[in-house]
Amino acid sequence: MASVKPQRVETTSSQVLTDDAVETVRPWNVLVWDDPVTPMKVVEVIFKRIFGYPNAKCTQLMLTVHNEGKAVVWSGQKDIAESYCVKLQVAGLQSTIEQP
């Protein structure tokens, strides 16, 4: 086996990213849509189990879905948003993702 000597990598000032150089990526939203038959308690339980939100936040999100027809329940990276959307759909809620 060949031995490899570790080498220190020199960092120049031009390689250091500044705040201005960081590219901002718009987050993806996970939406839950209202339906006329799902019990409110079930929606709260699903939010708590999937996101681990406190009870008050689950209730607030459930009421937003009920009163406004939809709610943004999570925002962030696309792959994670997709994963949450799938979990919500598997739990029987109507959910989609969007990048506003």
- Torsional sign, CA 40, 41, 47, 53: positive
Residue at token pair 């939010």: 47
Between 71 and 97, name the residue whose CB sits nearer to another protein.
97
Torsion of CA 78, 80, 84, 89, to 10 degrees: 50
- Binding of another protein by 77 (CB under 8 A): no
- Binding of another protein by 39 (CB under 8 A): yes
Between 45 and 72, name the residue whose CB sits nearer to another protein.
45
H-helix or E-strand spanning residue 72: strand 70-76
- Binding window for another protein (CB under 8 A); candidates: 2-10, 13-21, 43-51, 55-63: 43-51
Residue at token pair 């937003």: 64
- Binding of another protein by 38 (CB under 8 A): yes
Residue ranges binding another protein (CB under 8 A)? 35-39, 41-42, 44-46, 48-49, 82-83, 85-87, 89-94, 96-99
